[in-house]
Amino acid sequence: MLPNTSDQEAPVQAREESVTVFGRALTSVISAGREILAKRRPFTADAKTRTDVLTALCKELQDHRGEASGLALAQEITEAYRELSPPEQLAFFQRLAEQFDTDREAILEAAERYRETSDLDHLLGISRAVEAPRQKLFRRINMAPDGTRTLVALRGDLLKVLRDHPELKAVDSDLKHLFVSWFNKGFLELRSIDWSSPANVLEKLIDYEAVHEINGWDDLRGRLREDRRCFAFFHPAMGNDPLVFVEVALTDAIPGAIAPLLDPGRGTIAAADVTTVVFYSISNCHPGLAGISFGNFLIKNVVEVLNQELEGLKTFVTLSPVPGFRRWLKKADLSDLVPEELQDKVRAPVGRVVEGEVQAALMRLCAHYLINVKSGELARDPVARFHLGNGARLHKIHWGADTTANGREQSASIMVNYLYDLQKIEINHEEYFDQGKISVSRSVSKLLD
């Protein structure tokens, strides 16, 4: 049975009413601030490019002291940024890197003063000197009604060009540093999403689903039926825009393929027969929050909620893709892994029918990839790194589990069960990060024998 939505409506309504009252007061303050700014605008906007105008606004906000006019300035900046084209965005990022960076001489002078007198004041002087002025700018932009959302979008745009413009890494580092604090787990709100949730939230699920595409409202309705659950984290500054969400299937067995889980015509089982919780899709909603960890905390919260809701739960497991497998496979040295006559065959695109020896070789290679191929000391595959880092066990590898074009191209149609054994999660987590040890089931280990 679904959660009692009437129990959820009262606090949601109270929260929305409180936000509305606060929003009206904030709008009034910003209107007053705009009037103040209009009387002493320090530059002529129509004489400059949009990047120049935005840069001037940022410098003005950085040195600003008035509260009302500061809020108005911050809102002008968020509005101006949203008008920029991609080339103008890049030019603005370069201004942030060059004109709002640290002062090398000031850092050296602060360090020398601390070397001469190692007291707290001089230590704090170093701290102030090494913080780039753009961090103060970002904090002030964040005061605007849509400031947080704009900065998240800004970082998303920045990440698109970062590889080709490494000189912008410091800007990204400053934003990520602030986001870690602003999106602290203590500010996150876990919500259960069902068919009665607000339409704008449901629309965002369709837009943001990154693992298994949702094909319209009928498909979404099937994913929110009585044998399914969906949970998301929200943040006060982002309104009804989720940060991350997880789709859950309630079953009586561990699944080995994705199609039956997504089938809108599937039969359902009684709540009393549910023994297994399957996390089959986790989607991060905002590229600008890349590197800010929500998913592991989300899964652990969902486990707690479902344990309270449903009796008889025994198994918590994923059905996960292996998105980096074929990308690695195409470039890897396979000379010690498969016979020479199979190397071209296992690298070839995967069709719906695969020779037995090629299938067996791909299963062995996938196990090798998940267990032995590392990025630093951790698993290279991003999904494996996430679940193993959470303390899950690599439980089972399934051939032909995702025969969609994307599943065959990325994962050679293979999907994986990661098992969350509630008694061993913390042990597995510690061993993974301290010793690089991956918890692996016997069935997966046998693939490498």
DSSP annotation string for 203-232: HHHHHH--SS---HHHHHHHHTSTTEEEEE
> Is 6 contained in some domain?
no
The average pLDDT across 349-360 equals: 86
Least confident of 157-171, 241-255, 349-363: 349-363
Task: State the pLDDT at residue 44.
Answer: 47
- For residue 296, what pLDDT is reported? 78
Confidence of residue 37 (pLDDT cuts 50, 70, 90): low
DSSP label of 41: -
Q: Residue 297 pLDDT > 90, yes or no?
A: no
| Structural domain contains residue 109 | yes
Mean pLDDT on 298-326: 93
Pick the more confident residue, 30 or 366.
366
Q: How far apart are CA 241 and CA 200, in angstroms?
A: 8
How many Å apart are CA 90 and CA 241, to the nearest integer?
26
Residue 3 has pLDDT above 50, yes or no: no
> How far apart are the C-alpha atoms of 100 and 103, rounded to whole Å?
9
- Write down the pTM of the prediction: 0.84
Mean pLDDT of 20-31: 59
Whether 274 and 131 map to the same domain: the answer is: no
Cα 94 to chain centroid distance, Å, stands at 25
**Which region among 21-30, 286-295, 391-400 has the lowest average model confidence (pLDDT)?**
21-30
Q: What percent of the chain has pLDDT over 90?
A: 70
In this prediction, residue 8 carries a pLDDT of 47
- The stretch 282-298 carries a mean pLDDT of 89
Among 197, 281, 320, 411, the active-site one is: 320
* 424 or 29: which leads in pLDDT: 424
CATH number at residue 82: 1.20.140.90
Check whether residue 178 and residue 194 sit in a common domain. no
The domain of 169 spans 17-182
Q: Are 408 and 353 in contact (CB under 8 A)?
A: no
- Mean model confidence pLDDT for the chain: 88
| Residue 46 pLDDT class (50, 70, 90 cuts) | low
Do 92 and 70 lie in a common domain?
yes
Three-state secondary-structure class, residue 348: coil
Whether residues 170 and 237 share a domain: the answer is no
Whether residue 407 is predicted with pLDDT greater than 90 in this model: the reply is yes
Has 235 been annotated as catalytic?
no
- Taking CA atoms, 123 is separated from 109, 116, 425, in Å, by 12, 11, 40
Dist. CA 245–CA 211, nearest whole Å: 11
pLDDT for residue 4: 42
Residues 6+ apart with CB under 8 A from 405: none
Task: Mark whether 149 and 193 lie in a shared domain.
Answer: no
Q: Tokens standing for 53?
A: 């105008």
Q: Please spell the DSSP secondary structure of 109-167, one letter per residue.
A: HHHHHHHH--SHHHHHHHHHHHS-HHHHHHHHHTTSTTHHHHHHHHHHHHHHHHTT-GG
My answer on whether 112 and 146 are in the same domain is yes
Q: Which of 75-89, 287-301, 429-443 has the lowest mean pLDDT?
A: 287-301
309 plus 411 within the same structural domain: no
- Mean pLDDT is highest, among 103-117, 280-294, 315-329, for 315-329
DSSP codes, 82-107: HT--HHHHHHHHHHHHHHSS--HHHH
Give the separation between CA 270 and CA 268, rounded to whole angstroms.
7
Active-site annotation holds for 293? no
Q: Which of the four pLDDT bands, split at 50, 70 and 90, describes residue 33? A: low
Indicate whether 2 belongs to any domain: no
Domain-embedded: residue 5: no
**Same domain? 170 vs 260:** no
Distance CA(170)–CA(315), nearest Å, equals: 44
Rounded Cα gap, residues 141 and 62, in angstroms? 9
- Report if residue 10 sits inside a domain: no
Average pLDDT of the residues in 111-119: 90
Mean pLDDT over residues 190-200, rounded? 94
State percent of the chain over pLDDT 70: 89
Catalytic member of 212, 235, 286, 387: 387
**DSSP β-bridge partners for residue 397:** 416
Amino acid at 408: R
The count of structural domains within the chain is: 3
